[in-house]
Amino acid sequence: MAQEFTKEDVRVRWPAAARKAEMIEGALVFRADHAWSEVNAETARRTYPGHLIEVIGGDLVVWPAAGRTFDL
């Protein structure tokens, strides 16, 4: 069952808390004022099925395919 977002969720959960989104060589990189968590990565996996989703250096990265295409 889905849970409602709280005020804290809006501050720390993807995509609401994204401060900036960049596309770097086809990869979407979401930056925030805090490090993303595995909970955020799991949400992104449901949004972008078939894509590799990773938290790298605190950023949430959505790769353009099922694997890395370059090193960040």
Domain assignment present for residue 28? The answer is: yes
What is the per-residue pLDDT for 72?
82
Domain assignment present for residue 9? The answer is: no
The mean predicted confidence, pLDDT, of the chain is: 90
What is the per-residue pLDDT for 1?
65
Q: How many domains does the chain have?
A: 1
Task: For residue range 11-25, list pLDDT tens digits in order.
Answer: 788 787 889 999 999
- Integer-rounded Cα radius of gyration of the chain: 12
Domain assignment present for residue 44? The answer is: yes
pTM (global) more than 0.75:
yes
Q: Which domain holds residue 51?
A: 23-72
Give me the phi and psi of 68, to 5 degrees please: -65, 140
Domain assignment present for residue 4? The answer is: no
